[in-house]
Structure 1
Amino acid sequence: MTPFIRLHPGDDVVIARGQLLGGTAVENVTARGLIPPGHKVATRDIAPGEPVRRYNQIIGFAARAIAAGEHVHTHNLAMGEFERDYAFGADAKAEPPKRDATFMGIRRADGRVATRNFIGILSSVNCSATVARAIADHFSRRSNPAALQDFAQVDGVVALTHGTGCGMDTEGLGMHILERTLAGYATHANFAAVLVVGLGCEANQINAWLAHSSLREGDTLRVFNIQDAGGTRRTVEKGIALVNAMLPQANRVQREPCGVSHITIGLQCGGSDGYSGISANPALGAAVDILVAHGGTAILSETPEIYGAEHLLTRRAVSREVGEKLVSRIKWWEHYTKINDGEMNNNPSPGNKAGGLTTILEKSLGAIAKGGTTNLQAVYEYAQPVAAHGFVYMDTPGYDPVSATGQVAGGANIICFTTGRGSAYGCAPSPSLKLATNTALWQRQQEDMDINCGEIVDGLASIREMGQRIFELVLATASGRATKSELHGYGQNEFVPWQVGAVM
């Protein structure tokens, strides 16, 4: 193998496969100094202000003269304005031939299919978070194994708490988002039943939330407040009693063959590096194409991390309306960051930059590879229910726990999470698969990673082969196979609804 990777003939840079020493031959030039793994090397002289291309797309502009063989990074590459050709629907294509496959899912009475079988304890407000956790802790298989010993078909009782629910406009955008998020979790197929605990005087009143969400109490959804129950101890006791009453019914499930059309994957990347857009992201995209061909759904998100690459998605939109909705969310983010004295290039993070990513343009071009190549069927706002099948988009922040929370609220029953730096993440009630972008990470943190996409960089597997392996792992996970993050107990602390607006 060559010591570098060229992604497109029109690129101005190549990517170091491993650490390059000064004097190493890189195509027709010589590396000037040390080039870290995953970082970029200029293959020609680039004048100040000239665009620099990777993936045959603009990733930034030369901040000063860059010599052939020089390391290209934050010291000599900067953001800049350029026109995007949205060309709505120009690259839309015929739907792929339909394929059939099954997994062992849990079919609910209303026809929805689950990949896990939890009981959930949701807090309406931060003030009820402690009692929600206390209720769930009583059923912990680690600290109190006897509590669930007769309920082998129940995956656990989990508390999903958050830091908001009050100090906010009861009619504002922040409240609407919180209500949507809680409703999505309260009705998620992976919950056999849900208990919602409030304080009683908060802005997010439970009765108002039920009405706004068209929800009603029943055997699988119970709600009450600390103030009505008589305080902390009585609330915890009442919550434990309610869960005990829910457990026998929740335990009466059996896995059965279900079509792949019932799988909805939330696509995430965190702790990205220079290999993300070369290995794990395009491999996940290949798996998404297979999933879509089987009738499944994949949700791409993280709007600040598609910025500058959104034109590649609008070209795949099934209609101009779908493409324009995505552009409108981009414009909203430009305004939102501006009024908060920020900018869209506030991303990448320090870890991303250490891994070789220089600008948000570069990061975005690699990030959208997770979405594969099929048509963009629909665009959703945060936590809206996803009704379309195929490849869709949901507007979320780039912060992984917030983004994935919105996807799960929308119906994602599995999360696929690529990482090059080694993100620590899991999700409840939807299992999360971790995809390593490079072999060094896999070897260092194998207990946290589910699959090594670094084999692509090493020349041991193709993107298509890795995509098939990811798809098969998704089916096994949807059928009940535990992920690494589930084995470590991740999931309850990663529920983070998007908090928008002033804290009052």
Structure 2
Amino acid sequence: MSDVILLAPHDDVAVATRDLVPGESVTTGDGESDGNPTVVVVRDRVPRGHKVALRDLPLGSEVRKYGQVIGRTTRPVPAGSQVHVHNLEMPRMPDVPGASDAASDYAYATEHRELPVPEGERPTFLGYRRADGRVGTRNYVAIVTSVNCSASTARFVADQFRGRALAQFPHVDGVVALTHGSGCGLVPTSEGGRTLLRTLRGYAAHPNVGGVLVLGLGCEMLQVDALVAEAGIPADTLVRRLVIQETGGIRATVRAAVAEIEAMLPELDARRREVCDVSDLVLGLNCGGSDGYSGITANPALGVASDLLVAYGARSVLAETPEVYGAEHLLTRRAVSPEVGRRLIDRIAWWREYAAAGGGTLDNNPSPGNKAGGLTTILEKSLGAVAKAGSADLAAVYQYAEPIDTPGLGFMDTPGYDPVSVTGLVAGGATVVVFTTGRGSVLGCKPSPSIKVATNTAMYLRMHEDMDLNAGRIVDGTASLAEVGREIFDLVLAVASGRETVSEELDLGQDEFQPWLLGTVT
């Protein structure tokens, strides 16, 4: 294991693989383009995962990592110094008042890569084939609430089926109450209303849901019948509706709802998994609690797994628009058409206006935890985040919670806040989510399983009961990027076939249902 990692020739910084102390010498190995190693005497304490300057950087210098600019120095930085928030800032980004003004700043559909289908037998998994042709990886009953006023009632119902209550129905994965803080006081036809309705319909129609109980209060703006109508719910999904004001109040509704679900269970339990092709998978890509290793280990390893899935014809979807900001030019070049690339820039422009309207900017990111882990600017964070997308062409760009209907790599417009982002991916149809983390995020996302991949071994050892796989071995030198990528791919297939993730063992994922709430509330 090298003391530091140089990620691209001519980078100005390297990443420490251990805590560096002043006075010691470190070398980049043979990463420089001329083949000669760079030896640097460390001047400052540089924590593991943080950056050390490889050469003297004058005031105002552009600093490169991954071969891309991540910031500009705010003071002279001698070689061997730590490069972080005290001497590096976000460079001024060009104003983007609208997508049309930004269009000329990007290259579209200029880089294409045909991913070869690996030789040998095609992979399969054991899934639940639904009436509409989609394939689920789980078999849940979902209580979908139309309004926050029915949230407590939904939880009371779901609580009746916790623990050993489903022991006699081993092929039913659980009953999940999908509650939220909206549904009334908003205009259903507004952007916020449409987004919430799209999210709730996506969960009601999800291939991991075999039975759905739609639960409302009765006087809300978003009515139960409107939620079910045009939701595209598969014909074999068992659908029931209850309205608290019509049923006789909370207690009566809980009794009625429990009876409805109990009546569903024998039929749902009779369903069995069948052999399905790998192309039937829909993978959601997300990261949270990122650190300086995220873009070196777990994210590019997930990119390897994503490329394998795409090569076989599956769907894989990147998200978190504020966390590709500054790296979007890498994705527009890979778009299958200029139109797809411009749709991504449309969303970047929308976000810049949205952030400005709230008195902020997109470079408010990274979070304090990200910075403690070694990330300094949103450019650096985004360059590491897009590694999750591998090298496949960008085939589609989706609005939040839109159905993921195009084979290949897609991008969904979501916030960077993990529960909201993953909720959008699952609403779009993601049947498995892989979630990379460097600081130790513990997200679940019922009804889809969440696979947690650690970026570094120290965190994995500290939180191994909450992690499914350790990608830190790439930096440790005990596994290659390709090997860990293949492990993630194999784990996705195993989990899709029914293997429990650690978040499922802990019964996580109900409270993490967090739809993106937009718009005026009156």
TM-score of Structure 1 vs Structure 2, range by shorter chain:
over 0.9
Q: Which runs of structure 2 are paired with 1:193-204 in the superposition (5 Å)?
A: 193-204=211-222
Identity within the alignment, %: 56
Establish whether residue 111 from structure 1 lines up as the match of residue 133 from structure 2: yes
Note the C-alpha offset of 1:166. Answer: 1.5
The residue type paired with residue 204 of structure 2 is A
The residue type paired with residue 11 of structure 1 is D
Establish whether residue 93 from structure 1 lines up as the match of residue 104 from structure 2: no
Secondary structure at the counterpart of residue 332 of structure 1: helix
Looking at structure 1, the residues matched to 515 and 84 of structure 2 have their Cα atoms a distance apart, in angstroms, of 34
Secondary structure at the counterpart of residue 447 of structure 1: helix
Note the C-alpha offset of 1:432. Answer: 0.3
Establish whether residue 336 from structure 1 lines up as the match of residue 354 from structure 2: yes
Note the C-alpha offset of 1:26. Answer: 2.7
Q: Which runs of structure 2 are paired with 1:181-330 in the superposition (5 Å)?
A: 181-211=199-229, 213=231, 220-330=238-348
Q: Could you tell me which residue of structure 2 aligns to residue 68 of structure 1?
A: 79
Q: Which runs of structure 2 are paired with 1:400-439 in the superposition (5 Å)?
A: 400-439=418-457
Note the C-alpha offset of 1:217. Answer: 10
Q: Could you tell me which residue of structure 1 aligns to residue 145 of structure 2?
A: 123
Secondary structure at the counterpart of residue 352 of structure 2: helix
Establish whether residue 394 from structure 1 lines up as the match of residue 412 from structure 2: yes
The residue type paired with residue 12 of structure 1 is D
Aligned counterpart for 1:42 among listed residues 53, 59, 76: 53
Equivalent pair of 2:205/2:231 in contact (CA under 8 Å): no
Task: Flag the 1:480–1:218 CA change in 2: closer, same or farther, 3 A.
Answer: closer
Q: Provide structure 2 residue ranges, at least 5 long, that are not aligned to the other structure.
A: 28-38, 95-103
The residue type paired with residue 484 of structure 1 is V
Task: Flag the 1:469–1:249 CA change in 2: closer, same or farther, 3 A.
Answer: same
Looking at structure 2, the residues matched to 80 and 212 of structure 1 have their Cα atoms a distance apart, in angstroms, of 46
Q: Could you tell me which residue of structure 2 aligns to residue 26 of structure 1?
A: 26
Looking at structure 2, the residues matched to 292 and 407 of structure 1 have their Cα atoms a distance apart, in angstroms, of 17
Q: Could you tell me which residue of structure 2 aligns to residue 12 of structure 1?
A: 12
Aligned counterpart for 2:156 among listed residues 134, 138, 150: 134
Establish whether residue 443 from structure 1 lines up as the match of residue 461 from structure 2: yes
Q: Provide structure 1 residue ranges, at least 5 long, that are not aligned to the other structure.
A: none
Looking at structure 1, the residues matched to 507 and 233 of structure 2 have their Cα atoms a distance apart, in angstroms, of 30
Note the C-alpha offset of 1:98. Answer: 6.5
Note the C-alpha offset of 1:109. Answer: 2.8
- Structure 1 length as normaliser, TM-score? 0.97
Secondary structure at the counterpart of residue 424 of structure 2: helix
Establish whether residue 180 from structure 1 lines up as the match of residue 191 from structure 2: no
Which moved further from structure 2: 167-176 or 89-98?
89-98
Q: Which runs of structure 2 are paired with 1:483-502 in the superposition (5 Å)?
A: 483-502=501-520
Equivalent pair of 2:286/2:435 in contact (CA under 8 Å): yes
Note the C-alpha offset of 1:315. Answer: 0.5
Looking at structure 2, the residues matched to 323 and 217 of structure 1 have their Cα atoms a distance apart, in angstroms, of 35
Equivalent pair of 2:130/2:236 in contact (CA under 8 Å): no
Note the C-alpha offset of 1:440. Answer: 0.2
Looking at structure 1, the residues matched to 294 and 324 of structure 2 have their Cα atoms a distance apart, in angstroms, of 14
Secondary structure at the counterpart of residue 323 of structure 1: helix
Note the C-alpha offset of 1:488. Answer: 0.9
Which moved further from structure 2: 311-320 or 252-261?
252-261
Task: Flag the 1:219–1:237 CA change in 2: closer, same or farther, 3 A.
Answer: farther
- Give the number of aligned pairs: 500
The residue type paired with residue 38 of structure 1 is G
Looking at structure 1, the residues matched to 296 and 263 of structure 2 have their Cα atoms a distance apart, in angstroms, of 50
Looking at structure 2, the residues matched to 499 and 217 of structure 1 have their Cα atoms a distance apart, in angstroms, of 29
Looking at structure 1, the residues matched to 225 and 204 of structure 2 have their Cα atoms a distance apart, in angstroms, of 14
Secondary structure at the counterpart of residue 14 of structure 1: strand
Equivalent pair of 2:299/2:384 in contact (CA under 8 Å): yes
The residue type paired with residue 173 of structure 2 is D
Looking at structure 2, the residues matched to 89 and 96 of structure 1 have their Cα atoms a distance apart, in angstroms, of 19
Task: Flag the 1:26–1:310 CA change in 2: closer, same or farther, 3 A.
Answer: same
Task: Flag the 1:448–1:215 CA change in 2: closer, same or farther, 3 A.
Answer: closer
- Structure 2 length as normaliser, TM-score? 0.93
Equivalent pair of 1:23/1:30 in contact (CA under 8 Å): yes
Equivalent pair of 2:206/2:233 in contact (CA under 8 Å): no
Equivalent pair of 1:162/1:496 in contact (CA under 8 Å): yes
Note the C-alpha offset of 1:169. Answer: 2.3
**Cα offsets for 1:292-331 (capped at 9, x unmatched):** 1121111100000000000000010000000000001000
Note the C-alpha offset of 1:370. Answer: 0.3
Equivalent pair of 1:179/1:213 in contact (CA under 8 Å): no
The residue type paired with residue 71 of structure 1 is Q
Looking at structure 1, the residues matched to 326 and 450 of structure 2 have their Cα atoms a distance apart, in angstroms, of 27
Secondary structure at the counterpart of residue 240 of structure 2: strand
Looking at structure 1, the residues matched to 379 and 508 of structure 2 have their Cα atoms a distance apart, in angstroms, of 31
Note the C-alpha offset of 1:245. Answer: 1.4
Q: Could you tell me which residue of structure 1 aligns to residue 31 of structure 2?
A: none
Equivalent pair of 1:98/1:295 in contact (CA under 8 Å): no
Note the C-alpha offset of 1:262. Answer: 0.9
Looking at structure 2, the residues matched to 95 and 267 of structure 1 have their Cα atoms a distance apart, in angstroms, of 19
Establish whether residue 3 from structure 1 lines up as the match of residue 3 from structure 2: yes
Task: Flag the 1:296–1:215 CA change in 2: closer, same or farther, 3 A.
Answer: closer
Secondary structure at the counterpart of residue 125 of structure 2: strand
Equivalent pair of 2:210/2:237 in contact (CA under 8 Å): no
Note the C-alpha offset of 1:167. Answer: 2.0
Equivalent pair of 2:132/2:235 in contact (CA under 8 Å): no
Q: Could you tell me which residue of structure 2 aligns to residue 80 of structure 1?
A: 91
Looking at structure 2, the residues matched to 338 and 127 of structure 1 have their Cα atoms a distance apart, in angstroms, of 32
Equivalent pair of 2:127/2:274 in contact (CA under 8 Å): yes
Note the C-alpha offset of 1:224. Answer: 2.0
Note the C-alpha offset of 1:111. Answer: 2.2
The residue type paired with residue 8 of structure 1 is A
Equivalent pair of 2:130/2:234 in contact (CA under 8 Å): no
